[in-house]
């Protein structure tokens, strides 16, 4: 047997990403996105609701070379947040510390490693859900999975309970093979299980009907026609992921300590949490949710949700 060939920089970088705690890693070239037209049509239909930042950043999202000029490739990563946790009134992703900070720090650490090990002058920028990037498109291009009918990126060995992030680099790296296949087949469990029937077609979601949107991004009162369907969902919704066969089979236990449920959430039921939230004033809210992704909804949004849930529980 001959000696194994030298390990490429791409292989080393992906191995370093896995060693840093990420669960998936792949490399994608930057450029025009494959979902640009469908994203434009989605915006034109008004399916983004009150998330006007999506419309304002549409031009940047259409081409991944635009948000940070000079970037050529991206290391795309996924970090699991534990799909085996029990259901509850708060979506699994939001029960622990803010995932943005956790992933930014690790991606910045990978950039430091790259500068030390291979490319001292390399420029890079970490993106985690806050920049004008269509992360799913980039992740599919990096070979991490396909788009499920519930619009989530699904990986054939991990399901979909994971966050996506990317480290943009001004290096030309050898990309991984894009994920070209789709493995949902004839299954429509996610579409049928949605409490508000938010999917207008397989792979197309009207956010204005989605419980996650209504309880997090939506700033107005929750429309009366959806309040009963919100049921006991205080923040977010995992229903379309819970019923997905790929998650039923492959979802993992929670392993990341940062994502363990905070004491403020714990295993409390919806009614107890809702009553606690209605007692919060602004200083208490800031203290309770410091370093949590749940600040996205603001105190007014959490208390609005609490009133809707309590009304549902009292029916």
**Average of per-residue pLDDT across 212-220:** 98
| Cβ pair 259, 237 in contact under 8 A | no
> Quick one: pLDDT band at residue 3, thresholds 50, 70, 90?
low
Question: Residues 53-60: what's their mean pLDDT?
Answer: 95
* Domain coordinates in residue numbering, the chain: 9-169, 189-250+260-313
**In terms of C-beta distances under 8 Å and separation of at least 24 residues, what long-range contacts does 282-291 make, across chains too?**
288/264, 289/264, 291/97, 291/98, 291/101
pLDDT category of residue 4 using cuts at 50, 70 and 90: low
What integer pLDDT is reported at residue 267 of this predicted model? 84
How far CA 156 is from CA of 64, 105, 142, 159, 251, in Å, comes to: 25, 27, 14, 6, 10
pLDDT(1) > 60:
no
pLDDT tens digits for range 70-127: 999 999 999 999 999 999 999 999 999 999 999 999 999 999 999 999 889 999 999 9
How much of the chain exceeds pLDDT 90, in percent? Answer: 95
How much is the pLDDT for 264?
87
Q: Among residues 80, 98, 129, 281, which one is catalytic?
A: 129
Distance CA 164, CA 97 (A): 16
Of the pLDDT bands very low, low, confident and very high (cuts 50, 70, 90), residue 315 is confident
What gap in Å lies between CA 97 and CA 76, rounded to an integer?
Answer: 21
Selected residue with higher pLDDT from 213 and 118: 213
129 is catalytic: yes
Average pLDDT, integer, range 159-166: 98
**What pLDDT was estimated at residue 35?**
96
Residues whose CB falls within 8 Å of the CB of residue 90, separated by 6 or more in sequence, listed in order: 234, 235, 236, 265, 273, 294
- pLDDT per residue over 221-277, tens digit each? 999 999 999 999 999 999 999 999 999 999 999 999 999 999 889 888 999 999 999
Residue 43 has pLDDT above 70, yes or no: yes
Residue 146, helix vs strand vs coil: strand
CA neighbor of 233 nearest in space, from 195, 190, 278:
195
Percent of the chain beyond pLDDT 70? 98
Phi, psi dihedral angles at 77 (to 5 degrees)? -130, 160
**Average pLDDT over the chain, rounded to whole?**
96
What's the Cα-to-Cα distance from 276 to each of 19, 234, 271, rounded to whole Å? Answer: 39, 12, 9
Angle (nearest 5°) at CA 196 between 193 and 197: 65
**DSSP code, position 155:** B
* pLDDT score at 2: 53
pTM of model > 0.85:
yes
């Amino acid at each position: 047997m001959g000696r194994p060939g030298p390990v490429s920089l791409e292989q080393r970088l992906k191995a370093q990403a896995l060693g840093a705690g990420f669960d998936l890693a792949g490399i994608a070239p930057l450029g025009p996105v494959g979902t640009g037209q469908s994203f434009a049509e989605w915006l034109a239909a008004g399916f983004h609701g009150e998330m006007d930042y999506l419309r304002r950043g549409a031009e940047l999202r259409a081409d991944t070379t635009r948000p940070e000029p000079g970037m050529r490739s991206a290391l795309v990563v996924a970090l699991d947040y534990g799909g085996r946790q029990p259901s509850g009134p708060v979506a699994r992703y939001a029960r622990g510390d803010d995932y943005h900070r956790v992933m930014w720090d690790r991606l910045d650490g990978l950039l430091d490693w790259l500068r030390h090990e291979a490319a001292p002058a390399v420029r890079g920028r970490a993106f985690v859900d806050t920049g004008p990037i269509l992360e799913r498109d980039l992740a599919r291009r990096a070979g991490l999975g396909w788009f499920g009918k519930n619009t989530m990126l699904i990986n054939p060995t991990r399901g979909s309970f994971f966050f996506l992030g990317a480290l943009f680099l001004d290096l030309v790296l050898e990309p991984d093979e894009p994920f070209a296949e789709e493995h949902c087949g004839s299954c429509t469990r996610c579409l049928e299980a949605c409490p508000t029937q938010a999917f207008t077609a397989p792979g197309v979601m009207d956010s204005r009907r989605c419980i996650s949107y209504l309880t997090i991004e939506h700033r107005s009162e929750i429309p009366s026609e959806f309040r009963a369907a919100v049921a006991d969902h205080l923040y977010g919704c995992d229903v379309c992921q819970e019923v997905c066969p790929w998650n039923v089979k492959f979802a993992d236990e929670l392993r990341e300590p940062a994502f363990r449920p905070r004491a403020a959430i714990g295993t409390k039921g919806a009614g107890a949490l809702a009553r606690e939230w209605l007692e919060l004033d602004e200083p208490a809210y800031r203290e309770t949710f410091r370093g949590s992704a749940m600040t996205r909804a603001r105190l007014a949004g959490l208390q609005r949700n609490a009133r809707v849930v309590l009304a549902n529980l009292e029916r």
